[in-house]
Structure 1
Amino acid sequence: MGQKVIDFVAPSGALPHVPDDVTLPQFILDSWHPTRPLNTHSNPVFIEDSTAREVHFPEVRARTFGLANEMKSRWDLGEGDVVCIFSPNHIDYPTCVWGTHRLGAIVTTSNPAYTADELSYQLKLTKATVMFSCTASLQIAEEACRASGIPPERIVVLDSPPHYAGPYPTLDNLVKSGLEKHPQFTERRLSPGEGKKKIALLNFSSGTTGRPKAVSISHYAVVANVIQIAYYGQANENYGPATRYRPGQVALAVLPFYHIYALIIIMQFYVYAGFTVVVMPRFRLESMLKNIERYRINHLLLVPPMVVLLSKDPIVKNYDLTSVTFCMSGAAPLSAELTKQFSERLPGSAIGQGYGMTETATSVTFPQVDMKIGTLGSSGALLHGDTCRVRKPDGTWATFNEPGELFVKGPSIATCYLHNDVATKETFVYMDGDPDRWVRTGDEVVINEKMEVFVLDRIKEIMKVKGFQVAPAELEGHLLEHPDVGDACVVGIPDDYSGEVPLAFIMPSHDAQQRLKKDPSESGKIKQAIIKHVADHKVHYKRLAGGVTFVDSIPKNPSGKLLRRFLREKAKEMVATKSTKPKL
């Protein structure tokens, strides 16, 4: 007789109906749902932080249509085509996303700090045919487009600096031209059930092996997650002074829109809930503080490094943050100690954590609405519609307060990894005859009787640097291209600001070993060359901020697999004895 499977679900209420025949802009911009609050205010949807430019709902819809109309007229963009957005946050970032979706096309968002190699990889994998970039990133965008076959006439400048006279059209020009034309396309309603299959987003997530993987996310998955958050957060209810989600309030978009956290929660849910979203291009502490004060920000969506600065930097005391009523941290666990420090800086604000993944598009848990300060150490409570299981190391299923690996299923689960069946089968799994797919998260958790999730550790080898996923295998593959590297193993070491940072254990190549024997002072030069090799080709959070340590050999099992845990333990010892990373 098999062991009973323990399912963890939200304690009360079933998730309301999730429409499966609408696209994302049809749901956010055109339709109604019982979980959506009625916004009787005349507040703008977006505000550009630097100029105070306001964009109201009718203009959002008009600009979205204008862009879609011109993309259809100019390039015949349509069903299944892929558009890449390679830019910091911009007030028209949502226009690009929803305009693309109006045509039945797909959006892939890219980190604006990527190198040309990293961006080219993304363009080739997704087969993108149009590029939206900002002027500051145009050189990298041009190089990546040349390498991936996107013609120059399909590069669009998202920002419109004064007197721009470059060779590329601006988004403003496309919108203007599209609004001057008769409709060039007929936006179709999806057939029943089609929303579950039709891909809206290709967002990148690091796996345990190789380079980042493109996660295929359907329109239905995003719509479902917005409804899950709205239903759990009681967004359509007024329950007195403690009501958290009130139309007309102001949220700050300082998290990057290319990341699933901001792309779904800020760009989709907060617009759905009737908030004004103040758009910042990137995080700078003092700029954020000025914007909180200037725009009377009510909701802050953050990651732990931002919380660290808000809790510890003395400059914070120079600003009036009394408008803030709610802060949520996500993307990586927030310690109980840091939560306490943060609450002392913002005594008038509710504070909580959420948990999710790109593969779960996005939230699995959300901050408890009935608590000012979420249970310390918890990542919030399960959303309605999600079911979790926790598998212990011995293969049996955990019950309350027993640790094990988290498995999740629900309406917002992604469909697959694009063009990667092996990785798809490893992460999106079937269990016990259940016809639904489950996401194997690789996170060790405990779930209590209140359905609060506590993330204890990562079972997978993925590092979390400033909330971003970093795959050791990707860095190891790149390190092996350097002539002084004979073998390599990358592990994460703790860091107060970033959570953890990559440290590379390197077995020098034969040639490098000979040079080191002749002249030990070569060690520093070789290490710096290896560090530079990564810095020149990888985005900033993948750089070897933990440094390089030489070893005689890299431990492996008989089949050749890295025994990473041995070097992870060695790294812990190095940190404990202060024989740690070199300063970069």
Structure 2
Amino acid sequence: MSVTVFEGPPLSHVPPTNLTLPQFMLDSTHPLRPIRSTGNPWLIDDTTGVSYNFEVTRSRVFGLANSLAARWGIKDNDVVCTFTPNDVDYPIAMWAIHRLGAAVTPANPSYTCDELVYQIQTANASLLITHAASLSTAEAAATKAGIPKDRIIVLDSREDTGVNRRHSYPTIDGLIREGLQSPPAFVERRLGDEEGTKKIAYLCFSSGTTGKPKAVAIPHCSVISNVIQFASFNRVVDPTVPYEKQRFRPGDVTLGVLPMYHIYSIVVVLHVTLFCGHTIVVFPKFNLKGTVQSIIKYSITHLWVVPPMVVLFCKDKGLKQRDLATIRYVMVGAAPLSPEVIKQLIKLLPRNAVVGQGYGMTETSTIVCMQPWDVQQVIDGGAGRLLSGTKIRVIGSDGKPVSYDQPGELHVLGPQTMYNSYLNNPAANDETWYDGWVRTGDEVVIKKNGDIFIVDRLKEILKVKGFQVAPAELEGHLLDHPAVADAGVVGIPDEFCGQVPVAFIQLQPEFSRKIKGDQAASRNLEKDIAKYVADSKVHEAEEAANEHRRLAEIEAIVKQRIADAVSESRTSLTSRTVQLVMVLGALSQLHTVAASEEDNAAIAEVTAALQSGDQTQVESTVGLFLAGQGGCK
């Protein structure tokens, strides 16, 4: 029987359901949490070098919560919108809001006025925290959304270019001082059992699988669960893991460059790394030069990045391996990264650096799979293996579950997914969730060793002459060309093919200079790039065709062996036995020129059983062989 539900390792500890995030992070211990040195800062501002240790972090959270309660009466089930780039006080603000029982809706600081209005109104936010540099957009959006100006709070810029002196709004820093000097204005509520599965921590906006952005209601328990799943999967405190193999150690330094409004940053960069004892160097907004300088200045050990960042690293000719000498771990998420680009990245890093990909989405809050702790580098484009306590199904185009090596839509179930939902959107909930399972809208393939490959978003897969074409795969081949700095592939309608892929390419500066004003050179370069991608695809197609031919030849040989055995024994075989023996032959010879001694011995045993007519022995022998190969019986 084929496996159609795939499971990650068991979860070593059941996540608590009666804690909020600040109670879990600031007030509690946990068996999977390593001991952090008291001199190890929690947060460092990249620009100024200002740092917060545990005591300062916890104190600032209380001070801000006290002011929010005293001044604006923020309380249980209120919603506060944060509209700001990264800042060391961003997590302080989020946890202060949670201390009061309210939820955070983090907004993209590059939003236009109308985009911000949509989020404020959809989430029903009653208070807006913004940044001095984003103030004009925030004011306009607040007016449109019906938030009075006296309910706007400002995070002052760490680089005062004059913007801090242009407003008279209360500031986060001032409110923290005020709250610490005032009598308590709130009593923090303790949650009942299971209440953490319903108490909303974040309203993060996502387009989901289709349609306009929706507010994903993520309770405290979902984020806490993913932190514990991560620690369990990576064996963070397992004493049997040698020190040099430990991926996440107290004292490691994470670069907090991913935007803190994004679920990847909220769960992984903020909560996971602090839980593991890291220091986060908070970087306001990604730029390559500043990021590299921060890596050198603060001896960064861990990078959490997205594919466009990796492309910039790989394509920068001025970047030297010594610039990244302290890096021990790089995790790429948010979108698939091609094997071609991964190989380029590995060349830039120290030899012992761990490089891998992970997969998650806002609706799964967040990690579903990632690179196992004992695998150093994943260069084939895989997204890792299932996180502890996570189950998945792969659903084929006919709506039925499929097994290994077959593409289909990924459906996910785990403690990080089962309590989430879209806010006030029953139609979207019915489309995305069922019995705690999440329909991701992503096409995947799972291999027999547990590796998961994200093919692409189902809605982005192109149909060319009836064949599925993944834009991400074409982009990977384009990025491997020396002339290409960045690339994006989309589909356009075509009367004959249905769709055809079209690539938008940004050239490396030296190639742009070469073809400037020279149409012939431009056409030649275009043809060269197209041929490069086509040749790569042809090579893959030839390999696949050779594999199919080889399997057919093996199948013919095995069928003949079966026929000979039946003839000699004058015994009929069930179709199940025939199928098992064919699979045995294919497994033993498909990936090697010659079968191993163990394979030959197994084939001999099956042949002997066939000749004796012992059907039970046939199935038992084949079943044991398949189990040893990691297949399914």
Shared fold, TM over 0.5: yes
Match in the other structure for 2:165: 164
1:91 matched to 2:52: no
Whole-Å separation in 1 of the counterparts to 2:43 and 2:235: 23
Is 2:427 the partner of 1:422?
yes
Report the CA distance shift for 1:574/1:198 in structure 2 as closer, same or farther (over 3 A).
closer
CA contact (8 A) 1:160 1:170 kept: no
Report deviation, 1:461. Answer: 4.8
Measured in 1, the distance between the counterparts of 2:35 and 2:339 equals: 36
Q: Provide the C-alpha distance between the structure 2 equivalents of 1:401 and 1:281, rounded to a whole number of angstroms.
A: 42
Q: 1:160, 1:346 → 2: CA distance? A: 33
Change (3 A) 1:314 1:375: closer
1:318 deviates by: 7.8
Q: Which residue of 1 aligns with 2:442?
A: 443
Mapped partners of 2:496, 2:428: distance in 1: 25
SS at match of 1:278: strand
SS of structure 2 residue aligned to 1:572: strand
C-alpha deviation, 1:226, in angstroms: 0.5
- Alpha carbons of structure 1 residues 502 and 52: separation in structure 2 relative to 1, 3 Å: farther
| Residues 1:297 and 2:300 aligned together | yes
Is 1:66 matched up with 2:63? yes
Distance 1:78 1:220, change over 3 A: same
Structure 1 residue 7 corresponds to structure 2 residue 11: no
Give the deviation of 1:415 after TM superposition: 2.1
Against the structure 1 CA distance between its residues 274 and 573, is the aligned structure 2 distance closer, same or farther, given a 3 Å change threshold?
closer
Query: Is 1:265–2:263 an aligned residue pair?
Result: no
Where does residue 246 of structure 2 map in the other structure?
Answer: 243
- The secondary structure found in structure 1 opposite 2:15 is coil
SS at match of 2:74: coil
Q: Does 1:321 align with 2:324?
A: yes
C-alpha spacing 1:188/1:152, structure 2 compared with 1 (3 Å): same
Partner of 1:468: none
Structure 1 pair 569/336, CA: closer, same or farther in 2 (3 Å)?
Answer: farther
Q: CA deviation at 1:183?
A: 1.1
Q: Secondary structure at the match of 1:74?
A: helix
Q: More relative contact order in 1 or in 2 (CA 8 Å, sep 6+)? A: 1
The CA deviation at 1:498 is 6.3
Question: Please, what TM-score do these two structures have when normalized by structure 2?
Answer: 0.73
Write the letter of the residue equivalent to 1:187.
E
In the TM superposition, what whole-angstrom CA distance separates every residue of 1:414-461 from its partner, at most 9, and x where no partner exists?
5211121111110112xxxxxx31100111111122322101122135
Task: Give the one of 134, 139, 146 matched to 2:136.
Answer: 139
Q: Residue 320 of structure 2: SS of its match in structure 1?
A: helix
**CA displacement, residues 163-208 of structure 1 (integer Å, 9 cap, x when unaligned):** 6351211100110111011111111110000000111000010135
Residue among 346, 350, 364 paired with 1:343: 346
Q: Could you give the per-residue CA deviations for residues 6-56 of structure 1, whole angstroms, max 9, x where no partner exists? A: 11001x433411000000110011101111111135111011001111111
Shift of 1:568: 9.7
Whole-Å separation in 2 of the counterparts to 1:400 and 1:311: 33
Partner of 1:119: 116
Distance 1:294 1:343, change over 3 A: same
State which structure, 1 or 2, has the greater radius of gyration over its C-alpha atoms. Answer: 2
* Structure (1/2) with the larger helix percentage: 2
Alignment RMSD: 2.5
1:502-527 deviation line (CA, Å, top 9, x unaligned): 78x7xxxxxxxxxxxxxxxxxxxxxx
Q: CA deviation at 1:571?
A: 4.5
Judging changes above 3 Å, is the alpha-carbon distance between structure 1 residues 233 and 568 closer, same or farther for their aligned structure 2 residues?
farther
Match of 2:177? Answer: 176
Q: C-alpha separation between the residues in 2 aligned to 1:45 and 1:120?
A: 33
Check whether the contact 1:18–1:227 (CA below 8 A) recurs between aligned residues: yes
- Cα distance in 2 for partners of 1:168, 1:57 equals 28
Secondary structure of residue in 2 paired with 1:267 = helix
- Report which stretch shifted further, 47-56 or 567-576: 567-576
Match of 1:196? 197
CA contact (8 A) 1:41 1:248 kept: no
Asked whether the 8 Å contact 2:324–2:350 carries over to 1, the reply is: no
Distance 1:202 1:210 in 2: 17
The answer to whether the 8 A contact 1:155-1:168 is kept is yes
Please tell me whether the aligned partners of residues 2 and 403 of structure 2 are also in contact (alpha carbons under 8 angstroms). Answer: no
SS in 1 for 2:367: strand
Matched length = 485
Compare 111-120 and 158-167 and name the one that shifted more: 158-167
Q: Aligned partners of 1:445 and 1:499: how far apart in 2? A: 22
Question: Could you report, residue by residue, the CA deviation over 1:340-399 in whole angstroms, capped at 9, with x for unpaired residues?
Answer: 111011033110100000000000012221011025211011001110001111233211
1:160 offset after TM fit, Å? 4.9
SS of 2:394's partner is strand
Equivalent residue for 1:366?
A: 370
* Separation of aligned partners in 1, 2:46 and 2:15: 34
SS in 1 for 2:243: coil
Shift of 1:92: 0.3
Between the aligned partners of 1:185 and 1:4, the Cα distance in structure 2 is 56
The alignment partner of 2:459 has SS state of coil
Residues 229 and 366 in structure 1, CA contact (< 8 A), matched pair in contact too: no
- Structure 1 segment 434-473 matched on structure 2, within 5 A: 436-461=435-460
Q: Aligned partners of 1:232, 1:568: CA distance in 2, in Å?
A: 45
Q: Aligned partners of 2:316, 2:29: CA distance in 1, in Å?
A: 43
Gap runs ≥5 in structure 1: 430-435, 464-490, 506-563
Shift of 1:570: 3.9
Secondary structure of 2:323's counterpart equals coil
Counterpart of 1:82 (choices 76, 79, 82) is: 79
Q: Please, which of 261, 280, 285 is the counterpart of residue 282 of structure 1? A: 285
Q: Find the counterpart in structure 2 of residue 553 from structure 1.
A: none
Relative to structure 1, the CA distance from residue 186 to residue 93 in structure 2 (aligned partners, 3 Å threshold; closer, same or farther) is same
Distance in 2, matches of 1:14 and 1:158, equals 39
Cα distance in 1 for residues equivalent to 2:496 and 2:211: 20
State the distance in 2 between where 1:568 and 1:379 align: 31
Q: Which digits, 9 at most, give the CA deviation of each residue in 1:105-148, with x for residues without a partner?
A: 00000000000000000000001011111111100000000001
- Sequence identity of aligned pairs in percent? 44
Residues 518-562 of structure 1: per-residue CA shift (max 9 Å, x gap) = xxxxxxxxxxxxxxxxxxxxxxxxxxxxxxxxxxxxxxxxxxxxx
- After superposition, the Cα gap between the structure-2 partners of 1:498 and 1:263, relative to the gap in structure 1 and judged at 3 Å, is farther
Deviation (angstroms), 1:210? 3.6
Paired with 2:136 and 2:497, the residues of 1 have a C-alpha distance of: 38
